[in-house]
């Protein structure tokens, strides 16, 4: 969701700069690995990565040493004797590396195109997502076995090495099969001269047990060591550690690498969760009265989804949208509701469905015209008006009863949904985001009427994006914080403050944060 910030996605994802593990496995932002004995100043980061990507764009349609010009990378790999599952995985990993693609969007299309299903599709998914999730660990291991700096190795070769190394370290695939197919991928990518180099690195990696690599390269310090073992940049683990007890940190990091259950939302007034569960053969949710859990299959193929009666939406997001509509306001609710940061439209749609039942109306603000068009489709038939505007100054009038500020954030609470995301993020982004977040809350407290409520939410547990924003709104803007825990079902441990902090390892939701603010009845105080 943009909410008036055109240069950042809702999740905060950026291009895949080299945010990996440096010397002795220590996670580094903006640095690439050096080969063994070559630990000089790193030349990496987002800009350098983009230059390398541009320089190697033509590797997808490779020349005489690999596939014929114009042949897709998948078919080139298959021609080299690589099975279709690995060929698809390699193609997706390359697209993530050089095109800043999102694997969760690209992979399903690639599987359908190659008509992969069952075990083949599952294997392709496992090694694609696994490689992208553990990228920093894989690069640290490869760097230890390479006589060249990683920056000096062709991106095609690096991605083939990553795919092979993941299979050696994290799967039950026979080492010889992982090595052989990775070398074939190097050739398919047009780098036949590097096949001996790649073979040597992978054989060296395979000679050492996986656990030994993790022990050997793990950095000193409890948090840094946990971060490495769970394939996270240290700064993300440190962020989580500021909120969680030490005993929970490992579980929280582990949850980011587990396959999330798909959550469906039954649109109120269209279909109940019970009906949706029966029709789809799935299970009703635990916390949201609209949630249904879908363990497998393509939700886009479900008739209720195709007819707009249901959609995919994390259960935590459902609870937040519901809370916006149910928190008591002082005085009469005139039915003027606002979603100030509405893209991509899931919460606006649920608010709209509830508004229809309550004879209310939702205004939805989105700064991006393209995303605003997507919201229009999502809320079609609901009492929702979409505005293309900056949430910091939307110029849509004031006097709203209820406002949702689902602010742009780092997206640290949804890492499990985008396997490459943890390596695309930078801690330096949070300072910039926190400025925007406070500006949006300030705008909302001006747009809401005295006695009205503002619900502030993020999909990040980082205190700089959560409690710091809320505390500042109370101290500087005179907002009253209500106990948000009163407006959700009993979920067990959601934090010690008045706000709500959900977690994947506790609740099965994304790590959603929610706080409820009320504007004072007199002069906005």
CATH, residue 347: 3.40.50.150
Q: Do 158 and 282 belong together in one domain? A: no
Helix or strand or coil: residue 58? helix
Cα angle, residue 319 at apex, residues 347 and 390 outer, rounded to 5° = 30
Of the candidates 411, 482, 468, which has an alpha carbon nearest to the alpha carbon of residue 243? Answer: 468
pLDDT of residue 522: 56
344: preceding bond cis by omega (within 30 degrees): yes
DSSP annotation of 422 reads: G
- Per-residue pLDDT, 297: 85
Is residue 241 domain-shared with residue 205, that is, in the same domain? no
390 and 511, same domain (yes or no): yes
Does residue 508 have a known ligand-binding role?
Answer: no
Q: For the domain that residue 295 is a member of, what is the CATH number?
A: 3.30.70
Residue 413 lies inside a defined structural domain of this protein? yes
For residues 82 and 222, membership in a common domain is answered with no
Question: Which listed residue (145, 325, 409, 459) is catalytic?
Answer: 459
One domain for residues 205 and 330: no
Dihedrals phi, psi of 442, to nearest 5 degrees: -60, -45
For residue 284, say whether it is annotated as part of any ligand binding site: no
Query: Which of 493, 410, 518, 492 is closest to 458 using CA atoms?
Result: 410
Domain coverage including residue 235: 218-257
Shared-domain flag, residues 244 and 192: no
What pLDDT does 23 receive? 38
Q: What is the chain's alpha carbon radius of gyration, rounded to the nearest angstrom?
A: 24
Q: Determine whether the annotation assigns residue 451 to a binding site.
A: no
Do the domain assignments include residue 363?
yes
Domain check: are 326 and 371 in the same one?
A: yes
Q: Are residues 448 and 504 in the same domain?
A: yes
341 is in an annotated binding site: yes
Is 343 annotated as a binding-site member? yes
Assess if residue 365 is contained within a domain. Answer: yes
Grouping H, G, I as helix, E, B as strand and the rest as coil, residue 6 is: coil
504 is in an annotated binding site: no
390 labeled part of a ligand binding site? yes
Phi, then psi, of 416 in degrees rounded to 5: -65, -20
Give the Cβ contact number of residue 161 at 10 Å.
28
| Catalytic residue check, 459 | yes
Number of domains in the chain: 4
- Do 517 and 473 touch, CB atoms closer than 8 A? yes
Separation between Cα atoms, residue 487 and residue 503, nearest integer Å: 17
Per-residue confidence (pLDDT) for residue 93, from 0 to 100: 98
Residue in the structure block whose two tokens are 């490459």? 420
Distance, CA of 338 to CA of 256 (rounded, Å): 32
Both 124 and 264 in one domain: the answer is: no
Q: Is 298 one of the annotated binding-site residues?
A: no
Give me the phi and psi of 95, to 5 degrees please. Answer: -65, -35
What average pLDDT values come out for the chain (525 residues) when binned by 10 residues? 39 44 41 35 37 43 42 93 98 97 95 94 97 98 96 96 98 97 98 97 97 95 96 98 94 95 97 97 97 92 95 98 98 98 97 98 97 96 98 97 98 96 96 98 98 98 99 97 97 96 98 97 52
Q: Is residue 10 part of a domain?
A: no
- The predicted structure's pLDDT at residue 296: 85
d(CA 87, CA 482): 53
Closest CA to 478 of 435, 436, 437, 518: 518
Three-state SS for 131? helix
What is the spatial distance between Cα 324 and Cα 362, in angstroms, rounded to a whole number?
Answer: 11
Q: Is 18 domain-assigned?
A: no
DSSP symbols for 345-405:
-HHHHHHHHHHHHTT-EEEEEES-HHHHHHHHHHTTTSSEEEEES-TTS--S-S-EEEEEE
């Amino acid at each position: 969701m943009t909410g008036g910030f055109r240069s950042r996605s809702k999740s905060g994802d950026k291009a895949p700069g080299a945010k990996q593990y440096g010397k002795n496995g220590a996670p580094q932002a903006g640095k690439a690995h050096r080969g063994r004995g070559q630990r000089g100043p790193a030349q990496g980061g987002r800009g350098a990565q983009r230059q390398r990507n541009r320089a190697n764009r033509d590797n997808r349609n490779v020349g005489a040493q690999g596939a014929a010009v114009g042949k897709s990378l998948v078919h080139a790999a298959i021609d080299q004797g690589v099975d279709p599952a690995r060929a698809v995985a390699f193609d997706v990993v390359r697209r993530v590396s050089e095109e800043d693609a999102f694997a969760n969007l690209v992979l399903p299309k690639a599987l359908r195109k190659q008509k992969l299903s069952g075990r083949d599709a599952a294997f392709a998914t496992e090694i694609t997502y696994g490689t992208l999730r553990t990228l920093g660990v894989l690069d640290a291991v490869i760097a230890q076995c390479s006589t060249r700096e990683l920056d000096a190795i062709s991106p095609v070769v690096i991605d083939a090495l990553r795919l092979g190394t993941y299979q050696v370290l994290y799967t039950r695939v026979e080492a010889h099969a992982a090595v052989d197919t990775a070398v074939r991928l190097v050739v398919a990518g047009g780098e036949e001269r590097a096949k001996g180099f790649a073979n040597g690195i992978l054989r060296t990696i395979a000679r050492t047990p996986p656990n030994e690599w993790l022990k050997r390269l793990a950095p000193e310090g409890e948090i840094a060591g946990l971060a490495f073992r769970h394939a996270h940049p240290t700064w993300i683990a440190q962020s989580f550690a500021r909120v969680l007890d030490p005993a929970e940190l490992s579980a929280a990091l582990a949850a980011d690498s587990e396959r999330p259950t798909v959550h469906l939302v039954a649109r109120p007034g269209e279909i109940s969760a019970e009906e949706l569960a029966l029709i789809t053969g799935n299970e009703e949710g635990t916390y949201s009265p609209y949630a249904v859990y879908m363990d497998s299959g393509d939700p886009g193929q479900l008739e209720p989804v195709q007819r707009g009666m249901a959609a995919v939406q994390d259960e935590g997001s459902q609870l937040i949208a519901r809370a916006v509509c149910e928190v008591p306001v002082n005085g009469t609710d005139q039915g003027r509701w606002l979603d100030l940061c509405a893209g991509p439209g899931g919460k606006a749609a649920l608010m709209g469905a509830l508004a229809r039942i309550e004879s209310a109306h939702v205004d939805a603000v989105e700064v991006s015209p393209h995303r605003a068009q997507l919201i229009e489709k999502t809320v079609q038939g609901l009492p929702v008006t979409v505005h293309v505007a900056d949430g910091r100054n939307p110029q849509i009038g004031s006097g709203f009863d209820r406002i949702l500020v689902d602010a742009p954030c780092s997206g640290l609470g949804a890492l499990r949904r985008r396997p490459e995301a943890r390596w695309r993020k930078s801690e330096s982004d949070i300072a910039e985001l926190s400025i925007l977040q406070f500006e949006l809350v300030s705008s909302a407290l001006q747009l809401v009427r005295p006695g009205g409520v503002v619900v502030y939410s993020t999909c990040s547990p980082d205190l700089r994006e959560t409690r710091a924003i809320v505390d500042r709104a109370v101290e500087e803007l005179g907002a009253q914080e209500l106990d948000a825990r009163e407006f959700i079902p009993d979920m067990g441990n959601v934090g010690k403050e008045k706000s709500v902090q959900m977690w994947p390892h506790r609740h099965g939701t994304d790590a959603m944060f929610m706080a409820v603010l009320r504007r004072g009845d007199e002069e906005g105080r």
